[in-house]
Amino acid sequence: MTIARAVGTFTYPARFQLVASMNPCPCGYRGVRNAECRCDDAAVAKYVGKLSGPLLDRIDLQVQIARVPFDDMVRREGAERSQTIRERVVAAREFARERFVGTPIKANAEIPPSAMRTYCALDDAAMKLLAVASAKRQFSARALDRIARVARTIADLAGSSTIRAEHVAEAVQYRSLERLDGRAA
């Protein structure tokens, strides 16, 4: 991480994962049942627009999460067990680890831009879907790389060595903030 100040520029070794949250709108009630939101689309666009494009470009997963209804929070059955999810994640990490044998890469997030075509090759249908999404949403080159890395992880979780259209579609859906602020069509 490099920090630039008046007295100089300092570089520190860093490896981190950013997790952030924000309200869906200035009043916090947009999309909430049984609550009245006072914000129009322009107010929401202005609110989300306070996040810079370059910052949003670097956030891989931008997901809107609705409030969970009380009945869903207190029900006893139905939720997938954490152990089951853990097993799927461990299997995906092992799948990726085998892919990167003999390289310094440990995870999909570490794939350098120069190796994207090698490790994140899309099949024809996935490439066509990404082209359409990119034309519609005006993704930057950085965003396209991030979408491909996320799609690679989704494919790994599915046990697929090939990144298919459904993996790309899911990865594109995880870029929701860019739709809210009017930067992407």
Question: Within 13 Å, how many C-alpha atoms sit on residue 179's CB side?
Answer: 12
Residue 184's nearest CA partner among 157, 154, 144, 125 is 144
Per the CB < 8 A criterion, the answer to whether 55 and 63 are in contact is no
- Which two structure tokens, joined as six digits, stand for 20? 């952030």
Report pLDDT digits (tens) over 52-80: 888 888 888 888 887 777 888 888 777 78
Q: Is the pLDDT of residue 24 over 90?
A: no
Report pLDDT digits (tens) over 143-164: 999 999 999 999 999 999 999 9
This prediction has a pTM of 0.78
Q: What is the per-residue pLDDT for 180?
A: 52
- The average pLDDT across 134-146 equals 91
Q: What is the per-residue pLDDT for 154?
A: 97
Q: What is the mean pLDDT of the chain?
A: 88
Question: Within 13 Å, how many C-alpha atoms sit on residue 7's CB side?
Answer: 1
Q: What is the per-residue pLDDT for 179?
A: 54
